[in-house]
Amino acid sequence: METEHRVVLGDARSMDAVADDAVDLVVTSPPYPLVEQWDDLFADLDPAIESALADGDGDRAFGLMHDVLESVWSELERVLAPGGIACVNVGDATRTVDGEFELWPNHVEIVRRMRDLGFSTLPELLWRKPTNSPSKFMGSGTLPPNAYPTLEHEHILVFRNGDLRSFPPGDDDRYESAYFWEERNEWFSDLWEIRGEDQRLAADDGARERSAAYPLEIPLRLIRMFSTYGDQVLDPFLGTGTTTVAAMVAGRESVGYELDPAFAEAIGDATARVPPLSERLAEERLDAHREFVDRRRAAGESLGYEAENYDFPVTTKHERRLQLYAVSDVDRDETADGHRYLATHDPY
């Protein structure tokens, strides 16, 4: 199996490289409005935002920043195929503007705007990021009433474009893409506890210094949950390429937009590490299932079906044809607007 992955160094508010209805799944984590590290990015895209912040007008700045994001959501409505899913990871902001401390509910604003564009809202996921910090509060410490809970979670918003997708009976890509029963029980819980990862890119040659705590496990789970082998995954805010790597590992095709060309090298470095990474992750999934089987047998329970491609049983009939793949090679080509990667996948 071979998959294609395009990285477009450009503005996702106009995704000319993506045809109408060409995308099956969107997985992205945009810049968060009114989180201070993103102020310059938003101001570059709309100078009125800088003026609003300078005037202490948080409501206006908040609305203008979401106007910028909405121009991307409008493109999603065009490129996402009927029945396609969009997953948006976003955190709310806490900030003092004009002397007043507030929470700015980014997830609420995105839900409202996506619904206005015609997307259906599906149950969301809460991503809780475990922390070792002893300070679980903001504000006045142990004196009531002016302390505030610390935000230790983000939202993974899930939307669908129209009705459910349909597949031919027994579709090979769909059945090979099945997940294990025990994976389903973990992944489809509405609370995920996954530690974030530092993805800081040091400022160099005028590039912005940015960081994000967006671990590979987040897009990888979402891609396995909401797409099949060969599907096209889009990330309009690609950053250091985490979604591209996840799509390669998962055997999906992808296209990603990144406005800052300084990230191109980081994306290339990340894709170069995919072959050994994909093999390790495939082995970990198989080992985890074998351990699950051992626990079930030790408890005197049996599993009802035999996997067709592996030497172990599975819980449901939908898992019988499950097939994992590992990436054996990644080739990179330059394109007029970025880079193109071809990944070769072998059954694992």
CB 235 within 8 A of CB 178: no
The predicted structure's pLDDT at residue 141: 67
User: Which residue type occupies 32?
Assistant: Y
The predicted structure's pLDDT at residue 181: 98
Domain 2-347 falls under CATH 3.40.50.150:
yes
What's the predicted TM-score (pTM) here?
0.94
Q: Where does residue 215 rank: exposed (0-12), middle (13-18), buried (19+ CB within 10 A)?
A: middle
In the chain (348 residues long), the average pLDDT of successive 10-residue segments reads 97 96 98 96 97 97 98 97 98 94 97 98 93 59 80 95 94 97 98 75 44 83 98 97 98 97 93 97 98 97 95 97 98 96 98
The Cα 99–Cα 86 span in angstroms is 36
Sign of CA dihedral 287, 292, 296, 299: positive
The predicted structure's pLDDT at residue 140: 60
The predicted structure's pLDDT at residue 113: 98
Half-sphere exposure for 330 (CA within 13 Å, toward CB): 27
Cβ within 8 Å of residue 280, ≥6 positions away: none
Cβ within 8 Å of residue 148, ≥6 positions away: 94, 101, 137, 138, 139
Q: Where are the domains of the chain?
A: 2-347
